[in-house]
Amino acid sequence: MLPIPDIQQPGTARYDAKDPEVSNPPIRQVKPPQGAPNVLVVLLDDVGFGAASAFGGPCATPTAERLAAGGLKYTRFHTTALCSPTRAALLSGRNHHTVGMGGITEIATSAPGYNSLRPNTCAPLPETLRLNGYSTAQFGKCHEVPVWETSPMGPFDRWPTPGGGFEHFYGFIGGETNQYYPAIYNGTLPVEPDRTPEQGYHFTEDMTDKAIGWVRQQRALMADRPFFLYYAPGATHAPHHVPKEWSDKYAGRFDHGWDRLREQTFARQKELGVVPADAELTARHAEIPAWDDIPDDLKPVLARQMEVYAGFLEHTDHHVGRLIDALGDLGILDDTLIYYIVGDNGASAEGDIHGCFNELINLNGVNDLQTTQFMSERIDDFGTPQAYNHYAVGWAHAMCTPYQWTKQIASHFGGTRNGTIVHWPNGIQARGEVRHQFAHVIDVAPTVLEAAGIPQPMIVHGVQQKPIEGISMAYTFHGPDEPDRHVTQYFEMFCNRGIYHEGWTAVTKHSTPWDPKGGVAFDDDVWELYDTNTDWSQARNLAAEQPGKLRELQRLFLLEARQFNVFPLDDRKVERFDADLAGRPVLIRGDSQIVYGGMGRLSENSVLNLKNKSHSVTAQITIPDGPARGVIVAQGGQFGGWSLYVLDGRLRYCYNLFGVKRFHVGGATALAPGVHEVRLEFTYDGGGLGKGGRAALLVDGRRDGDGRIDATVPMIFATDETLDVGSDTSSPVSDEYTTAESTFTGAVAWVRLNVGSDDHTHMITEADRMKVAMTRQ
């Protein structure tokens, strides 16, 4: 039972504390069992099995190799094929549908397996450890907070702290962040980076500095307590951001293309023993173009994309190494159980067939803007603060060598199999060995509890708990030949489905990450059958030869899916982005919203949606006696958004179209000191999504300027940039000021966002909605 109930023992009944007969029991603190180790869980983002050099990949990961040399490599460790679900499963020890995370939080529905709400019957591992006396902290990415709970008002029950069991959190909330301009929280309070990109700032370095500082402080003040540290960088999720010197190390190494790269990686994997000698390299699917079919003028751009990614992964591993070195300097490395999980799913194929310079253009369904010429002209900017880049599908597939498919495709090992390393010298005698037992991310929590000597709790905060669904991996630490204990595991993501049982897998792929078209009817999905006891990589489909075995496993999938909340299957794409149709709560309703001076870090889920419609933005401001400048209100950032601001004492408006073009509208009147009401009126052209319009500026009710906006962002400005009042945090929307210059020199009393009565949303067709929403998916 957690918290462990206090037991009060009566002291000696004496009137005077100085009486020599006075005797009180000592204060007892809750502490873990003697010998419980420190625990460090490292979870990288979007790294396929064939990426890291520790598992034969082309990207140097010396820290992973060092830990593997002193510990164990796991070659059959599996994730869920997507970030939020894997993280929820990791921290709970239960399957992702059990804890409501059947997809990412942005597409949550009201179905229990997909609502993004971890039940209080499934207390997270950090909370169990904390209530048993561990110090707990998380650094990096958290993508498990329901979107309607991400505003500054919370509630914070499902944030890392306090609801997630972590006493300290430093990181970002959401699926991705700009590594140069991250939206950081310290606990639940937004904070800004202490340096600019020009001064050398990068989030991975920053979060590592904070993690090292926390460990040192914990050791200095609570050395008698072990810690649980969860280190989850945003790397290597897009955008692929890394200092140029890291990507330049790989110049020319990928000019031969992804097909040759797969062959080279596969050969190294056999040499390392992370795949058996008789394993087969699976064929490239027809949906993925051959490198030889890529136009010659595009190949240098695609090669640079991979150079940047490789540098990004090596850079990330380097900073993991800094944390490992800090543990060594403190003399606690040998007594720290380390899980280094190289990816929360397979490599990401969400960058489209040719990759992209600005991922947000693709998310908005206007991929055609990023032509070969467009990307070639910007080739030197990939990976820098000027880009929001992602690599091509072919590279993602190569990073999942030797398996089929990629991230999102839970049916095949390319989406779910991730190299994993366990290092614990005081608890594992073996050094540099390989383990081939089947394991899943839900197995981490019970392994940690067993290592710590802590039982699974039956009751937490008065609520009876569901049993942990994972199986401890501790039996593998000393038993390389021990038979598998995790013998059955279902998989499902975006209706890509699979079942593993005693080496056999039955799988069906229903959807493709880069293809916006929906799949066929569920009953028409084609199932495949593989015996991975003899066919390691799922290369030989036996469905036609053994239909009876296939039917047996299909029935088993139905039983497992029913038990763990997988049903109903849901391949809707448009509807799940509409909160009302999906059945999840909406924070803001109606056609008007008022925000006040000082408010900020408001995600797009926290403010009125002004896209694809006529709207107005009205603000009451006070102009100081001195020079007036700065942002009144801004939404978005460098790669898309809008800003209403004062420059040289005059009102200005900037509309940023994906960072490709900025439209400026300026006022003519110098704003006198005192109180003013300023207003932007945007009249939308209509006729579909992402169309243009006319912007007019008004000061105290009088028109002060107007201008044409040729096109607009149809769906999303950014996944991490926000709306801020009185400044423009993170990256700047306008090119007429920097983030440091964006603070308004006067005062902003309030800002009212309003959707006009003459909006043109009725002119947006259902086909338009379908096209953009499916692309965004």
Q: What counts of helices (H) and strands (E) characterise the chain?
A: 15, 29
Contacts of 310 (CB under 8 A, 6+ apart): 58, 59, 60, 247, 249, 250, 253, 254
Instruction: Count CA within 13 A, CB hemisphere, residue 618.
Output: 13
Q: Name the amino acid, one letter, at 78.
A: H
Contact (Cβ atoms closer than 8 angstroms) between residue 613 and residue 686:
no
Residue pointed to by tokens 């679900």: 85
Name the nearest CA neighbour of 83 among 347, 310, 316, 311: 347
Contact (Cβ atoms closer than 8 angstroms) between residue 688 and residue 668:
no
DSSP 522: G
Separation of alpha carbons 501 and 506, rounded Å: 9
Predicted model pTM: 0.96
Q: What are phi and psi of 176, to 5 degrees?
A: -155, 165
What pLDDT sits at residue 24? 84
Residue pointed to by tokens 């995370």: 101
Please state at what angle helix 299-329 crosses helix 62-69, rounded to 10 degrees: 50
Contact (Cβ atoms closer than 8 angstroms) between residue 409 and residue 396:
no
Contacts of 47 (CB under 8 A, 6+ apart): 236, 313, 342, 343, 347, 399, 418
pLDDT profile of the chain (777 residues), mean per 10 = 88 84 87 97 98 98 98 98 98 98 96 97 98 98 97 96 97 97 97 96 98 98 97 98 98 98 98 98 97 98 98 98 98 98 97 95 89 97 98 98 98 98 98 98 98 98 98 97 98 97 98 82 96 98 98 98 97 81 91 96 94 97 94 97 97 97 96 97 95 97 97 93 96 96 97 73 42 40
Bridge pairing between strands 433-435 and 72-74 = parallel
DSSP string, 83-101: HHHHHHHHHHSS-TTTTT-
What pLDDT sits at residue 4? 94
Q: What are phi and psi of 769, to 5 degrees?
A: -60, -45
Element (H, E) at 130: helix 125-130
- For 276-336, what is the HEC assignment? CCCCCCCCCCCCCCCHHHCCCCCHHHHHHHHHHHHHHHHHHHHHHHHHHHHHHHCCCHHHE
What does the block give as tokens for 79? 């994730």
Q: What are phi and psi of 37, to 5 degrees?
A: -80, 160
Q: What are phi and psi of 142, to 5 degrees?
A: -130, 115
Separation of alpha carbons 417 and 344, rounded Å: 9
Give the three-class secondary structure for 257.
coil
- The CA distances from residue 348 to 25, 32, 300, 405, 409, in Å, are 58, 39, 20, 10, 10
- For 323-385, what is the HEC assignment? HHHHHHHCCCHHHEEEEEECCCCCCCCCCCCCCECEHHHHHCCCHHHCCHHHHHCCHHHCCCC
Q: Name the amino acid, one letter, at 61.
A: T
Element (H, E) at 244: helix 244-247
Contacts of 521 (CB under 8 A, 6+ apart): none
Name the nearest CA neighbour of 130 among 218, 26, 189: 218
What does the block give as tokens for 61? 């990961």
Contacts of 293 (CB under 8 A, 6+ apart): none
Q: What are phi and psi of 753, to 5 degrees?
A: -95, 135
DSSP string, 2-64: BSPPP-PPP----S-TT-TT---PPP----PPTTPPEEEEEE-SS--TTTBGGGT-SB--HHH
Contacts of 401 (CB under 8 A, 6+ apart): 48, 49, 50, 56, 57, 261, 262, 265, 266, 269, 281
What pLDDT sits at residue 363? 87
The per-residue pLDDT for range 354-394, each reduced to its tens digit, is: 999 999 998 888 888 999 999 999 999 999 999 999 999 99
Give the three-class secondary structure for 265.
helix
Contacts of 325 (CB under 8 A, 6+ apart): none
What pLDDT sits at residue 515? 82
Separation of alpha carbons 666 and 217, rounded Å: 51
Contact (Cβ atoms closer than 8 angstroms) between residue 160 and residue 174:
no
Within 10 angstroms of residue 702's Cβ, the number of other Cβ atoms is 8
- For 405-440, what is the HEC assignment? CCCCCCCCHHHHECCEEEECCCCCCCCCEEECCCEE
What does the block give as tokens for 507? 């799988």
Contact (Cβ atoms closer than 8 angstroms) between residue 481 and residue 510:
no
What pLDDT sits at residue 519? 74
Separation of alpha carbons 777 and 573, rounded Å: 7
Separation of alpha carbons 241 and 197, rounded Å: 11
Separation of alpha carbons 489 and 501, rounded Å: 7
What does the block give as tokens for 640? 């898309």
Separation of alpha carbons 591 and 5, rounded Å: 50
What does the block give as tokens for 609? 């949606």
What does the block give as tokens for 628? 């007036």
- The CA distances from residue 761 to 358, 400, 611, 612, 753, in Å, are 27, 42, 9, 6, 17
Contacts of 446 (CB under 8 A, 6+ apart): 93, 456, 468, 470, 471, 472
Element (H, E) at 632: strand 630-637
Element (H, E) at 643: strand 640-647
Contacts of 245 (CB under 8 A, 6+ apart): none
Separation of alpha carbons 270 and 596, rounded Å: 61
Q: Determine the Cα angle at 350 with ends 690 and 297, to 5°.
A: 85
Contact (Cβ atoms closer than 8 angstroms) between residue 32 and residue 226:
yes
